[in-house]
Amino acid sequence: MKNLLFSLNLLFTLVIFGQNQANNWYFGQNAGLNFSSGNPVALTDGALNTPEGCSTISDSTGNLLFYTDGIDVWNKNHNLMPNGSGLLGASSSTQSGIIVPHPGDNNLYYVFSLAEIAGPNGLRYSLVDMSLDSGLGDVVVAQKNVLLYTPTSEKISAIKHSNGNDIWVVTHEGNSNKFVSYLVTNSGIIMIPVVTELGHSPIDVYDNIGAMKISPDGTKIAVVYSSEVLELFEFNTTTGKLSNNIQITDFNQGLSLSYIYGVEFSSNSKYLYVSESQDGIIQFDVSSFNYNDILNSRYDIATNGMSFGDLPHSALQLGPDKKIYVAHFNNEYLGVINNPNSPGNQVDYEYNGVFLEGGISKAGLPPFIQSFFYSYIEVADSCLGDSTAFSINGSQNFDSVLWDLGDGTISTQQSLDHLYSASGTYQVELTIVDGTDIITQTKEVTVHDLPEANIPTDIILCSNVLGDPLDLTSQNQLILGNQSNLEFDITYHLSYQDAEDGLNAILSPFQTEQSETTIYARLFNLNNSKCNSITQFQIKYENSPEFELYENWYLCEGQNVTISLSNNFDSYLWSTGEVSNSITLEATGEYWVEVSNIYGNLICTETKFFNVIISQVAQINSVEISDWTNNDNTISIEVEGLGDYLYSIDGINYQESNLFSNVKHGDLTVYVKDKYNCGTVTKDVFLLYYPRFFTPNGDGFNDNWLIKSLETESDYTIDIFDRYGVLIKQLNSQDNFWDGTFNGFKMNSDDYWFVLTLLNGNMYRGHFALKR
């Protein structure tokens, strides 16, 4: 260990690549940020006023060196360098340029500049020597605006060569599908580029607009074109060549006035972010480098719905804190994607993330060598009691590795598992020696408290509330115990797997139709849901009493009524105070009975109300008869009394209706009884009938005309007339038929009329025919 530390001290005087060189940003209208404290702090001293392109560079300790808009170069005092004007870049280019340190000389920096929309100035470089102008730096006269390639689109990015020393600078030829890669070495820029002809060609000059970024691990390049085209390539940091392109188009299903502008990778190179005018910010998981997987992984983080030119979400840029910052055109805030290494629903995007303290964001943010942001430390927050796994991203072998895990533990292993003894946040530092480079990175690792879910009591309810809403949060305090609800929260699930995965949480209030349900409670740390504990309890429904009871019970006058229930229940309580399963009542009124099943401390009850109603023997007020037919007569019985009655005309077959139809003539008795057998009343009636014709021909059949069923009438008269109103015959109870003669003479075949007069004065009329 001592030898390793001694070696580190010796090498610390050499180039420390990427340390803090992206700590200062100047962009937009007098806007700036400083990341030296770990969090961005607004800078208000910048001289820059650019609608888009800009670039900044700091030294290895984070001190500002200079910045540019692609046309002018300002030193750290915010003054133009003596020869810092007239660069042939364009401030209105998406990426007007990038600043690249000379790998072999700490005083030299290359300022690469780009023209706008495939203009003739193309890609050029100007060399800044920091030893000039008393250490404030200046552009070397002999190496200013040196043409490298023309025309070019508004795209540029840089990454370290696989040798860990040299730097690739990659741009895109204007109006073509060629990528151009220049290598910056200890000897300077190799002027012959590596050209890859692959992928999309801009459909017009404006399609040259849009950014390009290389992933921090150097394996991928992403390019966007304003015509709604996103391309992803594999990149070889040894050869500078691109291969295996994947193209995604039509982000808005053909909507007009939509375009893509910004693009950026997460520091772990797993996720790609794109800013689009209609859909806002979109995340893709590009780790598989498979078209379908990438397309299906799309997650819309923020939406715009803006028109062309509004640029609400413009440039995207990784910061030293591994967060991605989002330019909002003409806004005093930058947006921030706080967790870009996480899947879409966990990225925590803040639209107004950083206040610029008077500065104004435009469309651009300064690009840097993407290797600056490569996250060597691979670690995730853990739970107390679980091992925390540390490893180094990538498969590269380094000369030496030194871990400081923040709790006094030191290790020289490439990867290791460590068990922290207490919860808290630890500052982990990784120092890597790679040839002449010393790379030091720090990262905060939080070990979260692991909750312990207490087993709550089961929820036991009565079945007569089955299906009613149930507040599961009533179990929260039992599960938490003495643990704080400010640190932990609880979700409820229907399966253990769902609880373990944190999926398909049950909403409260909860409803179930099952008599027994197992509920899994997931108690988790609010700051890291992976730190969780699972317990379970039952929701059970015990049987409530079920019994039938008539709503109305009928009491015969002078009698009582007994009501009996099943004796299978645990307790009974009647409104009279009776506690047995049956009751005898003698008075009318409204009553209730409460029946219970008892399960320990749980009492399930069912209460029903009923009425006791008097039932009297009916009184027949009248019997209305419609007769004079053979078998189509009707009888209607009118009664009074307190009761529910049934009616009959034979004493055997009863009906609820008091109306009888299709009744045959003759003597009848009507019967009325109440449904509850309190008594029956009767009344005799008779139905009259007269024949419609008779045939007095002496054959012994139908020789006489008479009205049937008059036998019960004590006296009556029947007058028979011919068609001319002549009285032909008068009948009575002693002489009750006519033989068809008048004064001993046979009457002719004809129609005859009659009038029946009863003793009570009722009169009935009709007519009949005599046929010979």
* Percent over 90 (pLDDT), the chain: 71
When pLDDT is averaged across residues 36-62 and rounded to a whole number, the result is 94
Do the domain assignments include residue 713? Answer: yes
Q: What's the pLDDT score for residue 292? A: 94
When pLDDT is averaged across residues 410-417 and rounded to a whole number, the result is 95
Q: Tokens standing for 294? A: 């990438």
Q: Give me the number of domains the chain comprises.
A: 6
Cis peptide bond prior to 151, omega within 30° of 0: yes
Mean pLDDT value across the chain: 90
Q: Tokens standing for 453? A: 């879910």
Same domain, 49 and 170: yes
Q: What's the pLDDT score for residue 312? A: 59
8 Å CB contact between 539 and 472: no
When pLDDT is averaged across residues 336-365 and rounded to a whole number, the result is 93
471: CATH? 2.60.40
Q: pLDDT tens digits for 622-658? A: 988 877 776 778 999 999 988 889 999 999 999 999 9
Do the domain assignments include residue 593? Answer: yes
When pLDDT is averaged across residues 91-111 and rounded to a whole number, the result is 94
Of 507, 386, 389, the C-alpha closest to 448 is 386
- Confidence band (pLDDT; 50, 70, 90) for 14? very low
Q: Tokens standing for 749? A: 């075949």
- Confidence band (pLDDT; 50, 70, 90) for 726? very high
Q: What's the pLDDT score for residue 289? A: 95
Residue 457 has pLDDT above 80, yes or no: yes
- Confidence band (pLDDT; 50, 70, 90) for 304? low
Q: What's the pLDDT score for residue 12? A: 32
* Percent over 70 (pLDDT), the chain: 94
- The answer, as to whether pTM is greater than 0.75, is no
In this structure, the number of other CB atoms found within 10 A of the CB of residue 83 comes to 17
Q: What's the pLDDT score for residue 19? A: 58
Do the domain assignments include residue 154? Answer: yes
Same domain, 130 and 233: yes
Q: CB-hemisphere CA count at 13 Å for 103?
A: 22
Same domain, 635 and 757: no
Q: What's the pLDDT score for residue 305? A: 45
Q: What's the pLDDT score for residue 277? A: 72
Same domain, 121 and 264: yes
Of 612, 616, 590, the C-alpha closest to 675 is 616
For the ranges 282-296, 473-487, 679-693, the lowest mean pLDDT is seen at 679-693
Same domain, 623 and 755: no
8 Å CB contact between 421 and 568: no
Q: pLDDT tens digits for 462-479? A: 999 999 999 999 999 999
Do the domain assignments include residue 667? Answer: yes
Same domain, 204 and 271: yes
Same domain, 147 and 54: yes
Range of the domain at 701: 693-770
Q: What's the pLDDT score for residue 227? A: 82
Q: Tokens standing for 498? A: 């769902």
Domain boundary among 373, 389, 421: 373
8 Å CB contact between 669 and 682: yes
Do the domain assignments include residue 185? Answer: yes
Partners of 43 in the β-ladder? 32
395: CATH? 2.60.40.10
42: CATH? 2.130.10.10
Same domain, 255 and 343: yes
Higher pLDDT, 518 or 713: 518
For the ranges 8-22, 160-174, 483-497, 535-549, the lowest mean pLDDT is seen at 8-22
When pLDDT is averaged across residues 326-337 and rounded to a whole number, the result is 94
**603/308 Cα distance (integer angstroms):** 69
For the ranges 74-83, 430-439, 463-472, 699-708, the lowest mean pLDDT is seen at 430-439
8 Å CB contact between 643 and 674: yes
Name the DSSP letter for residue 118.
T
Q: pLDDT tens digits for 149-204? A: 999 999 999 999 988 899 999 999 999 999 999 999 999 999 999 999 999 998 88
Q: What's the pLDDT score for residue 310? A: 45
Same domain, 219 and 297: yes
Q: Tokens standing for 303? A: 């939406």
Cα Rg of the chain (Å, integer): 52
Do the domain assignments include residue 357? Answer: yes
Cβ neighbours of residue 495 under 8 Å, at least 6 residues apart?
Answer: 504, 520
Taking phi over 0 as left and psi of -120 to 50 as alpha, with beta for the rest, 148 belongs to: alpha
Same domain, 501 and 412: no
For the ranges 205-214, 260-269, 389-398, the lowest mean pLDDT is seen at 389-398
Higher pLDDT, 197 or 444: 197
For the ranges 376-380, 392-396, 638-642, 744-748, the lowest mean pLDDT is seen at 392-396
Same domain, 322 and 468: no
3-state secondary structure of 431: strand
Domain boundary among 687, 709, 737: 687
Do the domain assignments include residue 394? Answer: yes
Same domain, 573 and 492: no
DSSP for 709-760, written as a single string: T-TT-S-EEEEEE-TT--EEEEEESSS--B-SEETTEEPPSEEEEEEEEETT
- Confidence band (pLDDT; 50, 70, 90) for 298? very high
Domain boundary among 325, 353, 373: 373
For the ranges 241-245, 379-383, 724-728, 745-749, the lowest mean pLDDT is seen at 379-383
3-state secondary structure of 479: helix
Do the domain assignments include residue 565? Answer: yes
Q: What's the pLDDT score for residue 64? A: 98
When pLDDT is averaged across residues 674-681 and rounded to a whole number, the result is 88
8 Å CB contact between 284 and 298: yes
Q: What's the pLDDT score for residue 250? A: 66
Q: Report the DSSP pairing between strands 602-615 and 582-585.
A: unpaired
